[in-house]
Amino acid sequence: MDKHDYMKLALAKAEEAFKSGEIPVGAVIVKDGEVISSSHNTNRLERNPLKHAEMTAIETASRHFMNERLDGCDLYVTKEPCAMCAGAIIHSRLRKVIIGAKDIKYGACGTVLSVLGNSRLNHVPEIEFGVMEDDASQILKMFFKDKRGRDPGHKNKSHENIPCDR
């Protein structure tokens, strides 16, 4: 398998997220040609802001190796990681991050913030942008177009009906 095959797996996970009403982001972690873990966003379903595709894939891979360090592993992700996920990528010591689409609002791999690739940090993974970028961008565009079409007043209203446990 090559990088496009692994990104296709991540896109399939993004499609699962799309079908369940989540922002369609998928992630796959690979080591030595073997898929170790894969995930998609579940933060809305689980009402947990930590349940990004990257975070869950890292957690699963860490359990697989029984180690928080994922040396030699590569992450394929359909959308550029946010600052939270970028921090987890650094702490888990992923070797390389292969990204489909840039995130012009929250991207922390150089698009908005430079968390990944920051030479002042103790670990700097290799970053590759643009693998199957059109496919990764398209599923995000379809999701938000559909969401906005169903709820014209969508802005700042996505959490109105979610009870708060205070």
Positions marked catalytic: 54
Classify strands 73-79 and 26-31 as parallel, antiparallel or unpaired. antiparallel
- Look at residues 28, 70, 23 and name the one whose alpha carbon lies nearest to residue 49: 23
- Distance of alpha carbon 20 from alpha carbon 45, whole angstroms: 8
Rounded to the nearest 10°, the torsion over CA 110, 113, 115, 118 is: 60
85: nearest Cα among 27, 33, 7, 46: 27
Cα angle: 140, vertex 142, 145; to 5 degrees: 105
CA 28 to CA 158: how far, in whole Å? 28
